[in-house]
Homo-oligomer: A and B are copies of this chain.
Amino acid sequence: MNLSVGIDIGGTNTAFGLVTDNGEILAQSSIPTSGHADFQAFADAVSEGIRQLLGTIEQPCKLSGIGIGAANGNYFSGCIENAANLPWKGLVKIVEAFKNQFGVPVFLTNDANAAAIGEMVYGGAKGMTDFIEITLGTGLGSGIVTGGKMLYGHDGFAGECGHVIVERGGRDCGCGRKGCLETYVSATGVVRTATELLAKRNIDSELRSIPNSELTALKVSQAASRGDAIAKEVFEFTGEMLGRALADFVAITSPQAIFLFGGLAKAGEILFEPVRRSMEANMLNIFKNKTQVLPSQLGDNAAILGASALVLANL
């Protein structure tokens, strides 16, 4: 039996698991990402965890390779490059570190690309050659697949769709610019829109009783499902903004489908319906009614699956 290892390095935890070629996770575990003496100590700890998981597999198995998803993970260089939310500074030679530990092929990419590859290998994009995966979390990430291949660009950093500017001079973005898509369409974007509408509208809302610092996209979506007018308008606006941007992305890469992944995508039709409506309303004629907007079919273990799928996609 062939097994791949998927490692998902998040700001808080690093999850890893053993995955069969069918996408079944046989064993998984996680450790905190921070608190290690240095990067090597972290890599040693993850490696030790992987060896323990391998020890639990009773059937004979062969390790095909290791796939790693991490913010700012660069497919070409094999390094995590200046990731703001991870404890290691500068260039971290993570592919080299795990090759040294296991002597198998190791592949790295960023978390959004890993989700896209997971969608292609194990999820809703099976058999598709052209699609976009949009990951909606604190920010907005994206992985673009064209002609059956991950679009990396010349430097490995393609697919920063969250930083396309959708409103000139708009909301301040963490990247230092203004009006980026992710300042409107993301979990934090939803909270900002809610805050803006609480100022703009002069009607009651259950959101008015929540301090701004405690407002979350989940609370807004729950209020919307209870019929709160402002919360509903928040999702209408979020969908409008995402739909406009998707119409532009379709004009550029003409995908068969766009998958929405992550916490915000779980809001369901309250988000998807205005996204589809706005996308079609803004679409160039030749692309109308051709591109599906779908929820990701990767489940709760998406991050490990996506990372492990890098191995199958590359070997």
Contacts and interface: CB of A to CB of B under 8 A. Distances in A.
B151 A147 contact: yes
Contacts of A248: 164-165
A152 B147 contact: yes
Copies in the complex: 2
Contact of A290 (B155, B175, B254): B155
Contacts of A41: none
Nearest to A146: B151
A248 B244 CA distance: 14
Contacts of A128: 154
A130 interface: yes
B249 A252 contact: yes
A251 interface: yes
The size class of the interface chain A forms with chain B is: 35 or more
Given A129-B154, A130-B154, A159 B252 contact: yes
A149 interface: yes
A256 B154 CA distance: 6
Interface string A252-280: 11111000000000000000000000000
Interface string A225-244: 00000000000000000001
B146 A254 contact: no
A196 interface: no
A160 B251 contact: yes
Interface in A129-179: 129-130, 144, 146-147, 149, 151-161, 163-165, 168, 175-177
Contacts of A130: 153-154, 158
A252 to B, nearest CB: 6
Contact of A284 (B155, B177, B251): B177
Given A147-B152, A151-B147, A152-B147, A284 B252 contact: no
A154 B249 contact: no
A151 B253 contact: yes
A147 B252 CA distance: 16
Contacts of A175: 284-285
Nearest to A257: B154
B282 A158 contact: no
Given A154-B130, A282-B177, A285-B176, A161 B252 contact: yes
A251 B161 contact: yes
A252 B146 contact: no
A7 to B, nearest CB: 23
Closest 6 CB pairs of A and B: A153-B254, A158-B254, A130-B154, A154-B256, A160-B251, A164-B248
6 contacts: A128-B154, A147-B151, A153-B255, A160-B286, A164-B248, A252-B253
